[in-house]
Amino acid sequence: MSTFQAPKGTYDLLPPHSATYLTVREAISAPLRNSGYGYIETPGFENVELFARGVGESTDIVTKEMYAFETKGGDRLALRPEGTASVLRAALEANLHKGGNLPVKLWYSGSYYRYERPQKGRYRHFSQVGAEAIGAEDPALDAELIILADQAYRSLGLRNFRILLNSLGDKECRPVYRAALQDFLRGLDLDDDTRRRVDINPLRVLDDKRESVRKQLTGAPALGDYLCEACKAYHEQVRELLTAAGVAFENDANLVRGLDYYTRTTFEFVHDGLGSQSAVGGGGRYDGLSEMIGGPALPSVGWALGVDRTVLALEAEGVTLDIPAATAVYAVPLGEEARRVLFAQVTVLRKAGIATDFAFGGKGLKNAMKSANRSGARLALVAGERDLAEGVVQLKNLESGEQTAVPLDAVVDEVRRTLG
């Protein structure tokens, strides 16, 4: 064993378990790729100020969880704690919004970093697939993203998840609600940190998970009572579109999410099989974020779904993904001439699109066949001196044990036929 281990709160993805993560990423991104979303990749670190402005200086992410550091050149950088601010920064920097085709629809996949207390489902390094639709204010866009996430989860076989939905209002009606909420919260018995949060962003307090705070929130003013007519109409359209698409959701008046940039539509995907870390993903509309980070007004909406949490949800439901074996054919040479001939056949099979591996390291027949079985291959290609003298190789079905002599120039066709 190495003297080094993965840092606390992180994990290594190793075969065969890693294949599940790849399948989940593929399933989440497939509906996006089919709906006009293009792939974007951003750096693993950004200017600290991007997250302080965008995510919000009062959020736990910025105040407690961000990995921030100073470079040798004096720049203040942070490992990215979430994806939206980075994606919007990249889109603005590349002037994608000036291409004349709004919304700009982007999807991404990658690792994110937060200094959290490690526990199952909550890591310091985690994986997400996300989507952003930048530059259009349209209830159909909000509904589209929720429907695509629902579609992705259902394609994986997940059933026991719920969609929570709320509206946080906009710059017209939220200030009125904010003032009413601050008046209410200032009358409560809160610690100094929470009181500071009341001054900076009182909606954050509604998201507090501590029982000592939660029990005092009974009777807090409800945001829904303060929505302006435009926000009410917008939210109703989102709900109608989801209902028409057959997507079930629950209204949750206390859903505020952990980021300051949300406006109007906000939503969360939760799975009750995950205990306290029940959120598997979520998102919402962030109409003012572009201006917060120095860009023009670009109303936008997006979400991020946790790959780690989704895998845990699949395990909680007992869903086994249909993941094909990494290897379909395993070549076993007996002797030097057979090594040369079969290695050439391996290359031919791979070029034909057939997943093929080879018994490296000069193993004997017994050990090589054990390796063939462990690989998950359905067929073994075996050849010795006598086979080569006859111009054939032995094709062995590892499931039935049946073995057939196949001419060298017919191997690809016969393998395809046998694999079906």
Query: Is the confidence at residue 259, as pLDDT, over 70?
Result: no
What pLDDT is stored for residue 6 in this prediction?
Answer: 92
Q: Which domain holds residue 381?
A: 329-419
117 and 243 housed in the same domain: yes
d(CA 87, CA 286): 13
Mean pLDDT confidence for 25-36: 98
Closest CA to 130 of 79, 88, 78: 88
35 and 156 housed in the same domain: yes
How many CB atoms neighbour CB 229 within 10 A? 9
Count of domains in the chain? 2
What pLDDT is stored for residue 272 in this prediction?
Answer: 87
- CATH value at residue 165: 3.30.930.10
290 and 340 housed in the same domain: no
42 and 136 housed in the same domain: yes
Per-residue pLDDT reduced to its tens digit, 5-15: 999 989 999 99
411 and 293 housed in the same domain: no
Asked whether 156 and 27 are in contact (CB, 8 A), the reply is yes
Q: Return the sign of the alpha-carbon dihedral for residues 177, 84, 279, 248.
A: positive
DSSP one-letter string for 119-185 = BTTB-SEEEEEEEEEES---HHHHHHHHHHHHHHHHHTT--SEEEEEEE---TTTHHHHHHHHHHHH
Residue 60 within a domain: yes
Out of 278, 297, 317, pick the residue that ends a domain: 317
SS (H, E, C) 133-152: EECCCCHHHHHHHHHHHHHH
Q: Which amino acid does the sequence have at 315?
A: E
Two tokens, residue 319 = 């869903």
103 and 68 housed in the same domain: yes
Query: Is the confidence at residue 48, as pLDDT, over 90?
Result: yes
334 and 237 housed in the same domain: no
Query: Is the confidence at residue 249, as pLDDT, over 70?
Result: yes
Query: Is the confidence at residue 312, as pLDDT, over 70?
Result: yes
Out of 317, 351, 383, pick the residue that ends a domain: 317
Closest CA to 336 of 366, 362, 357, 301: 362
Residue 219 within a domain: no
Asked whether 339 and 347 are in contact (CB, 8 A), the reply is no
143 and 238 housed in the same domain: yes
d(CA 90, CA 379): 47
Model's pTM, two decimal places?
Answer: 0.89
311 and 333 housed in the same domain: no
Residue 4 within a domain: no
104 and 233 housed in the same domain: yes
- Helix, strand or coil for residue 385? helix
Residue 216 within a domain: no
Out of 317, 349, 381, pick the residue that ends a domain: 317
282 and 396 housed in the same domain: no
Residue 258 within a domain: yes
Query: Is the confidence at residue 343, as pLDDT, over 80?
Result: yes
Residue 58 within a domain: yes
Two tokens, residue 95 = 């002037």
Residue 182 within a domain: no
Per-residue pLDDT reduced to its tens digit, 219-238: 889 888 899 999 999 999 99
Query: Is the confidence at residue 266, as pLDDT, over 80?
Result: yes
- CATH value at residue 374: 3.40.50.800
Least confident of 103-112, 193-202, 239-248: 193-202
Residues near 7 by beta carbon (within 8 Å), at least 6 away in sequence: 124, 125
154 and 95 housed in the same domain: yes
What pLDDT is stored for residue 260 in this prediction?
Answer: 64
- Helix, strand or coil for residue 352? coil
Residue 200 within a domain: no
Mean pLDDT confidence for 135-141: 97
